[in-house]
């Protein structure tokens, strides 16, 4: 079965892939703005909508990932009863 570590790596890879798709789509839009035919303009409009949705989804993924990291850090602080930043840092090097 997939453990939490594998799931996290998969999510990080998906976020990276989505970033790459967004960058490629933005580049495609930039490089096709000189085409004025209705076919191109229709395709560009659809791509712009999909790009906006993907960008919003990426922001949600990144927010959720940040929230998980904060929760994991807080849980570790409670578990190890870290009282200071120095205690947290020293625990990291054990």
Question: Which tens digit of pLDDT belongs to each residue from 57-89?
Answer: 999 988 998 998 889 888 877 887 777 777 766
Q: If pLDDT is split at 50, 70 and 90, which confidence band does 20 have?
A: very high
b/e burial code for range 60-91 (CB count within 10 A of at least 16 → b): ebeeeeeeeeeeeeeeeeeeeebeeeeeeeee
CA distance 83 to 72: 16
User: Structurally, how many domains does the chain consist of?
Assistant: 1
Host domain of residue 15: 4-92
Q: What is the pLDDT, as a whole number, of residue 27?
A: 93
Element (H, E) at 21: helix 4-31
CA distance 60 to 30: 25
**pTM recorded for the entire structure:** 0.66
Checking if the pLDDT of 1 tops 70, the result is no
């Amino acid at each position: 079965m997939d453990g939490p570590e594998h799931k996290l790596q998969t999510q990080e890879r998906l976020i990276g892939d989505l970033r790459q798709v967004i960058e490629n789509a933005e580049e495609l839009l930039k490089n096709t703005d000189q085409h004025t035919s209705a076919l191109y303009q229709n395709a560009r409009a659809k791509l712009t909508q999909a790009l906006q949705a993907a960008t919003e989804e990426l922001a949600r993924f990144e927010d959720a990932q940040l929230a998980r990291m904060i929760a994991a850090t807080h849980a570790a602080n409670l578990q190890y009863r870290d009282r200071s930043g120095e205690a947290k840092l020293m625990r990291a090097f054990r």
